[in-house]
Structure 1
Amino acid sequence: SELIYEDDKVEVHTVPLDHRVYTNGFLFKEKEGERKLNMKAVTKANIDLAYYRKLQQGFDVENENGELIKNEAVTTAPNKPKSYAFCSDTAYSESILPHIKNVSVLYHESTFLEKHASLCATTKHSTAKQAAEIAKKANAGTLILGHYSTRYDSLNYFKDEANEVFNNVLLAEDGKTFTF
Structure 2
Amino acid sequence: MKFTVLGTGSATPQLGKHPSAFLVQIDNEYVLIDCGEATQYRLLEQKIKPNKLKTICISHLHGDHYFGLAGLLSSLSLSQRKEPLTLIGPPDLIKIIELQIENSNNKLNYELIFVPTQNKEVELVLDKTFFKIESFPLIHRIPTTGFLISRAEGKRHILADKLPENFPVHFMGMLKEGLDVEDPMTGEIFKSSDYTIPGTPEKKLAYCSDTAYKPDLIPIIEGANLLYHEATFTDELKSRAEMTQHSTASQAAEIAKCAAVKKLVLGHFSSRYKNLDQHLIEAKSVFQNAVLAEEGKTYSI
Aligned residues of 2:152 and 2:201 also touching (Cα < 8 A)? no
2:236 paired with 1:120:
no
Q: 2 CA distance for matches of 1:10 and 1:105? A: 16
Q: Secondary structure at the match of 1:14?
A: strand
Could you tell me how far 1:47 is from its partner in structure 2? 4.3
Pick from 152, 161, 178 the counterpart of residue 58 of structure 1.
178
Letter in 2 for 1:153: K
Question: How far apart, in 1, do the equivalents of 2:225 and 2:186 lie?
Answer: 44
Q: Counterparts of 1:177 and 1:128 in 2: how far apart (Å)?
A: 21
In the other structure, the counterpart of 2:264 is 143
Determine if contact 1:15/1:25 at 8 Å carries over to the other structure.
yes
1:77-107 per-position Cα deviation (integer Å, ceiling 9, x unaligned): 1111111011010010011112101111000
1:36 and 2:157 are equivalent in the alignment: yes
Q: Which residue does the alignment assign to 2:33?
A: none
Is 2:175–2:192's contact at 8 Å kept on the other side of the alignment?
yes
Identity of aligned residues (%): 40
2:224 partner SS? coil
Counterparts in 2 of 1:121 and 1:50: CA distance versus 1, 3 Å: closer
1:81-139, CA deviations, whole angstroms, 9 ceiling, x for partnerless residues?
11101101001001111210111100000011112111111100001000000001111
Q: Say whether residues 1:22 and 2:22 are aligned partners.
A: no
- The aligned amino acid for 1:170 is V
**Residue identity in the other structure for 1:138:** A
- The answer for the alignment partner of 1:163 in structure 2 is 284
8 Å Cα contact 1:36/1:75 also seen in 2: yes
Q: Which residue of 1 aligns with 2:125?
A: 4
Q: State the match for 1:107 in structure 2.
A: 228
8 A contact 1:129–1:161 mirrored in 2: yes
Task: Please say if 1:48 is aligned against 2:163.
Answer: no
CA offsets, 1:7-46, max 9 Å, x none? 10101000210111110010000112111111222238x8
**Conservation of the 8 A alpha-carbon contact between 1:47 and 1:62:** no
The one-letter code matched in structure 1 to 2:189 is: L
Report the AA paired with residue 179 of structure 2. F
| Residue pairs, 1:77-88, within 5 angstroms | 77-88=198-209
Could you tell me how far apart the structure 1 residues matched to 2:167 and 2:296 are? 49
Distance in 1 separating the partners of 2:234 and 2:175: 52
Query: Who is 1:129 aligned against?
Result: 250
Distance 2:244 2:261 in 1: 25
Structure 1 unmatched runs, 5+: none
The TM-score with structure 1 as length reference comes to 0.93
Query: Which ranges of structure 2 fall in alignment gaps of 5 or more residues?
Result: 1-121
Aligned length, in residue pairs: 179
Partners of 2:163 and 2:251 in 1: how far apart? 50
